[in-house]
Amino acid sequence: MRKCLAIVLAAGEGKRMRSSRPKVLHQVAGRSMLAHVLDAVAQAGADELAVVVGPGREDVAAEALKASAHAKVFVQAERLGTAHAVLAAREAFAKGFDDVLVLFADTPLVRPETFRDLRAKLAEGAGVAVLGFEPENPFGYGRLLTDATGALTAIREHKDASAEELKVRSCNAGLMALDGGKTLDWLSRVGNDNAQKEFYLPDVVEIARADGASCALVIAPAGEVLGVNDRVQLAQAEAELQNRLRRAAMENGATLVAPETVFFSYDTKLGADVLVEPHVVFGPGVTVADHVVIHAFSHLEGATLAEQATIGPYARLRPGANLAREAKVGNFVEIKKAEIGEGAKVNHLTYIGDATIGPRANIGAGVITCNYDGFLKYRTEIGADAFVGSNCSLVAPVRIGDGALVGSGSVVTRDVAGDALAVARGQQVEKPGWAAAFRAKMRALKSSKASD
């Protein structure tokens, strides 16, 4: 087993985002770019994670530790280039590593497999393994220079390249794997005699070759190594990742009727034979079991749906919404922090928050759990087989017993015993002939006014 240190560079300023938030904390599919990178490299078997941040970037450091509790944060005091940034994490090398992976926190879509491919090149004997790609437009990227045998000899930054070198279409994605025993020595020999007066990480290629080490190349699809510098590229990264998530969901056996209209979170879990109709949005933390149906225009986050549950169209499941088997949540229904029992139905225009609904209970149209008094939240408990008529307000804390029936239009402020009927509304009053007499009186009044 080769020991691996991963160094994530995140000290860039990200000015082109025009944001008060640091670039690498912007999200793709519901998670920061930094967290995506840390997760992918952990999956590729990195034993230690070092994150290099700019001075005063406690927020970036905090996100790194949130994504990976054992990450170590290093501060690059001055932004003097990518090689200089790696050296800011010098102390992380102390334990000795076979592989050093260098990655960029603003390049969030690189798959764990690709990191493993780079490490495999080191295991096969290369001193450096560079990740390359062929962009549609190579402007701005470092060019991969090769010899007659196709071996990588150097990487030339755009600003330093000759007219001839600028014709090269293969570019440096920026990420690379390096022989852990040699990295610090090679990096200490990188100079800054170049157009940007920066210490360039890609210069290790020439230095390693001068030491007799070979430099290998791994080529990735352009979409995978997309770097995010502005909000247009952020949207491109989002689109790329959404397509990947849609494809994975379908490969796992979910039917997406119109995949291009369904938006996933990085962690959405869909079972087999799930049907997702058009225009459904998944926020973070959703788990959907087999044979669930999600009708069009539903929005879910932090929700769990057991087998054969059905929601929507136009359902909104908020964090803590847990639907048991065959539960049914219909149109314009909002559920928050609530357990919906097996086979229970909440079909129309309802808000259920901070509640437990027993198996097979039926919640009528327009029922509201009044869970908040402006200061605190309270729970509503509805028993098995209970029936709550339409347009009831259940003023929490309140408990409706098993098999109880609540008449529609009730404002329920006290507990209802099991199997009881509760009606809490004004009594109906009926006066025979009253309407006809009223109309006759008013018609007479109106015609007397007209003749004035």
Q: How far is the CB of 9 from Ca ion (least distance, A)?
A: 10
Q: What are the start-end ranges of the H helices in 326-373? A: none
- Residues with Cβ < 8 Å from 7, sequence gap 6 or more? 50, 51, 52, 86, 89, 92, 100, 101, 102, 103
**Residue 397: half-sphere exposure toward Cβ, Cα within 13 Å:** 4
Q: Binds 264, which of ligand UD1, Ca ion, none (CB < 5 to 8 A, cut-off by type)?
A: none
Q: Which is nearer to ligand UD1, 11 or 254 (CB)?
A: 11
Q: Binds 64, which of Ca ion, ligand UD1, none (CB < 5 to 8 A, cut-off by type)?
A: none
Decide if 348 is catalytic. Answer: yes
Q: Binds 144, which of ligand UD1, Ca ion, none (CB < 5 to 8 A, cut-off by type)?
A: none
Q: Which is nearer to ligand UD1, 200 or 266 (CB)?
A: 200
Q: How far is the CB of 22 from ligand UD1 (least distance, A)?
A: 10
Give the CA distances from residue 264 to residues 238, 279, 291, 322, in Å, rounded to whole numbers and listed in that order.
10, 11, 18, 19
> Looking at the DSSP assignment, which residues form a beta bridge with residue 287?
269, 304
Active-site residue, from 26, 158, 279, 348:
348
> Looking at the DSSP assignment, which residues form a beta bridge with residue 180?
none
Q: Which is nearer to ligand UD1, 56 or 96 (CB)?
A: 56
Q: How far is the CB of 368 from ligand UD1 (least distance, A)?
A: 49
Rounded distance, CA 141 to CA 104, Å? 14
Q: Binds 325, which of Ca ion, ligand UD1, none (CB < 5 to 8 A, cut-off by type)?
A: none
Q: Are strands 310-311 and 393-395 parallel, antiparallel or unpaired?
A: unpaired
Give the CA distances from residue 110 to residues 117, 176, 200, 348, in Å, rounded to whole numbers and listed in that order.
11, 12, 21, 43
Q: Which is nearer to ligand UD1, 171 or 367 (CB)?
A: 171
Contact residues for ligand UD1, defined by CB under 6 A:
9-12, 52, 76, 79-82, 84-85, 104-106, 141-142, 155, 157, 171-174, 200-202, 227
Rounded distance, CA 353 to CA 347, Å? 15
Q: Which of residues 179-238 bind Ca ion (CB under 5 A)?
A: 227
Q: Which is nearer to Ca ion, 188 or 196 (CB)?
A: 196
Binding site for Ca ion (CB under 5 A): 227
- Residues assigned a catalytic role: 348
